């Protein structure tokens, strides 16, 4: 009897393993062999779905954008503007293991942006997408002329927490990140936009 394989689930497992490998080993050791080893299978299992490292990298990058689009839809469904902004700031924090793996992989990629054209292209798409998420969360909270500076502030704060959590995970536990988020939300006294 043939074994049923859910191909979409297999692709997702490969991408998750690739994110973990990239975050743990860095870009120099990010190979299809390392990904297949992480999965406990052969390289052929990976190449069946992703014929090259670039193809796998491209899917990882697409997944980031897909998740941002999904978050954009979730934000639109949150009626309270303050809940919306807290949700978007929380989205950027590496509060759980999966989010930490994604952020470690992203930092590993950033260091190769000038060597790998695919990474440079991806980062050129991702940053505006992340800024748009923040803009969606705050645009009806503050006057139009203050939106971009507030987007900058939130993006800088979240990036700082991400880097701190990667550098010092023992200090920046999920509880500490959540406490910092609550304090940050109190500090960014967002005025209500006037129409």
CATH number at residue 42: 1.10.357.10
In a domain, 193, yes or no: no
Greatest pairwise CA separation for the chain in angstroms: 67
d(CA 33, CA 10): 16
The number of distinct structural domains making up the chain is: 1
Q: For residue 80, what is the DSSP state?
A: S
In a domain, 40, yes or no: yes
d(CA 108, CA 113): 9
Range of the domain at 121: 7-187
What is the CA 82 to chain-centroid distance, rounded? 22
Q: What is the pTM of this model?
A: 0.82
If we measure between CA atoms, which residue out of 74, 105, 109, 102 comes closest to residue 88? 74
d(CA 146, CA 164): 27
Q: Within a 13 Å sphere around the CA of 125, how many CA atoms are in the beta-carbon half?
A: 14
- Chain segment 95-113, per-residue pLDDT in tens: 999 899 989 988 888 888 8
In a domain, 195, yes or no: no
- Chain segment 141-181, per-residue pLDDT in tens: 889 999 999 999 999 999 999 999 999 999 999 999 999 99
If we measure between CA atoms, which residue out of 23, 62, 21, 28 comes closest to residue 43? 21
In a domain, 39, yes or no: yes
In a domain, 2, yes or no: no
């Amino acid at each position: 009897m043939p074994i049923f394989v859910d191909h979409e689930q297999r692709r997702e497992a490969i991408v998750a393993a690739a994110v973990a490998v990239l975050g743990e080993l860095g870009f120099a050791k990010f190979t299809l062999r390392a990904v297949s080893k992480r999965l406990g299978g052969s390289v052929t299992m990976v190449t069946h779905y992703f014929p090259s490292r670039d193809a796998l990298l491209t899917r990882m990058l697409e997944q980031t954008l897909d998740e941002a689009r999904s978050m954009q839809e979730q934000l639109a469904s949150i009626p309270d503007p303050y809940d919306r902004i807290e949700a978007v700031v929380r989205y950027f924090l590496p509060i759980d293991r999966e989010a930490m793996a994604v952020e470690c992989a992203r930092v590993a990629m950033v260091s190769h942006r000038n060597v790998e054209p695919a990474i440079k292209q991806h980062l050129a798409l991702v940053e505006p997408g992340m800024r748009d998420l923040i803009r969606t969360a705050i645009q009806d909270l503050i006057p139009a002329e203050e939106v971009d500076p507030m987007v900058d502030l939130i993006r800088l704060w979240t990036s700082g927490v991400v880097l701190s959590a990667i550098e010092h995970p023992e200090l920046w536990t999920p509880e500490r990140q959540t406490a910092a988020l609550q304090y940050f939300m109190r500090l960014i006294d967002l005025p209500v936009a006037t129409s």
